[in-house]
Structure 1
Amino acid sequence: MIRAIIFLLLYSYLIPITASNNALIITQITDDSPLTNTAKDIIRMAYQKLGINIHFLRLPAERSLVLTNQAVTDGELFRIDNINLAYPNLIKVPTPYLVAEHMAFSKTKQFTVKGWESVKPYRICFRIGYKVAEHNTRGFNIVLVNTNQQALHMLNSNRVEVVILDRLIGLNSIQSLGFKDIKMLTPPLQTTPLFHYLHKKHKKLVPKLNTIIQEHRQGKVLNY
């Protein structure tokens, strides 16, 4: 029954259902962007090599983790290392396949970024479930929103001073929203490898997926 509800959600997100209900549901926590699309291409390729159909479902970041941990959905497209410490039913495919660059974006402030303490003096914003930002900004002046687009709208209307986003997701979102006054500050606050996660009921797939990702990495440096 629960999986039937999820498939109805897939329809509502305009993701076509052409395979059987045995297809795995992999959640994505960001809208399609160069980073997300690259991740989807790699993970889709890996499952195709195993003869497994998958569908991607866009969900809010925190809800995605809860549903995958409960086996309502089957896996996470990409997450940072050790997310399974908080969600113990998730198993990490050990080889990272992307690198995220966590950047500060601002409309009114210009400064050289020197780690997370650089943004502490400012009113900052990022989406709920952005674990790297949550962990590194404890005690800061934070505004949480549901989506990256909401964060950028807050910044563009001068309601916050700094927004934290992945480099490619941020640049793509700014361009699509037409916000010409928002600039990316450098260098990155932090870079982190990204991993694919599955619910533990699919643990037999982990070594097979890991081998495919390792083979892919040998032919291409996955730093986007």
Structure 2
Amino acid sequence: MLTISTNNTPSDRKALEQLAAEAFRRVGFGIQVVNNPSERSLVLANQGEVDGEGLRVAGLATQYPHLIQVPERFIGISFVAFVRQPGLQLDGWASLQPHRIGFITGWKMFEAHATGARIVNRVDTPEQLFRMLAQDRIDVALYTLADGLALVQRLGLSGIQAVTPSLRDVDMFLYLHQRHSALVPQVAQALRDMKADGSHARLLHGI
């Protein structure tokens, strides 16, 4: 039984749970998924206190050297800007610079590309983030498209919309602690097999 830590959005966590459960089942392991704050989740995995971490963008092994990226895409997601101000035009990371922005602490995509904005607010939860936007405490909330739209609806927030095009569409990956290096190619192959036999698509369709 392996423990995978995550700070994914609700739909991405479901994808991680279901896809990873099937991939690891095919190589003879069970998994449990636990929640931790975003930055702590990576640190715990890098220190080996849990067995892996996901889902994350590619390339984090350079910053967390004890983690190995499973080199097969789990899912793709869209990172977007949510705004309340009518007609606010954004096109790419540089367009965020004049604005007050917010994102969740530890989200590496935004830490890498969005910290040049006029005011940067880091928060702990998506609920905090979107309430700040609704209360005009920030101009732009950075989050993922599908879960952001669902959260706006769940919180009953009016006038908030996602800006198109997305800031970036990315592939998301699982990372395993280096003690499980032998499992990395096996899990990658299991994912490829799942895509080939249709089970990957079926599992995602049910989320």
Same fold (TM over 0.5): yes
Q: What letter is aligned with 1:105?
A: F
Q: Alignment identity in percent?
A: 32
Taking the TM superposition and a 5 Å limit, the aligned residue runs for 1:55-74 are 55-74=32-51
Map of 2:176 onto structure 1: 198
The Cα offsets for residues 47-106 of structure 1, whole Å up to 9 and x where unpaired, read as 122231211111111000100000011111211111010000000101112112110001
Structure 1 consecutive aligned stretches of length 4 or more whose deviation exceeds 6 Å: 221-224
Map of 1:208 onto structure 2: 186
Map of 2:147 onto structure 1: 169
The Cα offsets for residues 97-148 of structure 1, whole Å up to 9 and x where unpaired, read as 2112110001124334321122222100000011011110132121000111
Q: 2:135 aligned to 133, 139, 157, which one?
A: 157
Distance 2:144 2:195 in 1: 21
Q: Classify the secondary structure of the residue corresponding to 1:212.
A: helix
Change (3 A) 1:208 1:38: same
Tell me if structure 2 keeps the 8 A contact 1:102–1:164. Answer: yes
Alignment root-mean-square deviation, CA? 1.9
Q: Give the count of matched residue pairs.
A: 201
Match status 1:44 vs 2:18: no
TM-score (norm 2): 0.90
TM-score (norm 1): 0.84
Deviation at 1:150, TM superposition (A): 1.1
Distance 1:54 1:139 in 2: 38
Q: Classify the secondary structure of the residue corresponding to 2:103.
A: strand
Q: Classify the secondary structure of the residue corresponding to 1:117.
A: helix
* Structure 2, unaligned runs of 5 or more: none
Taking the TM superposition and a 5 Å limit, the aligned residue runs for 1:48-127 are 48-127=25-104
* Structure 1, unaligned runs of 5 or more: 1-22
Deviation at 1:39, TM superposition (A): 2.6
Q: Classify the secondary structure of the residue corresponding to 1:150.
A: helix
Which is further off, 104-113 or 130-139?
104-113
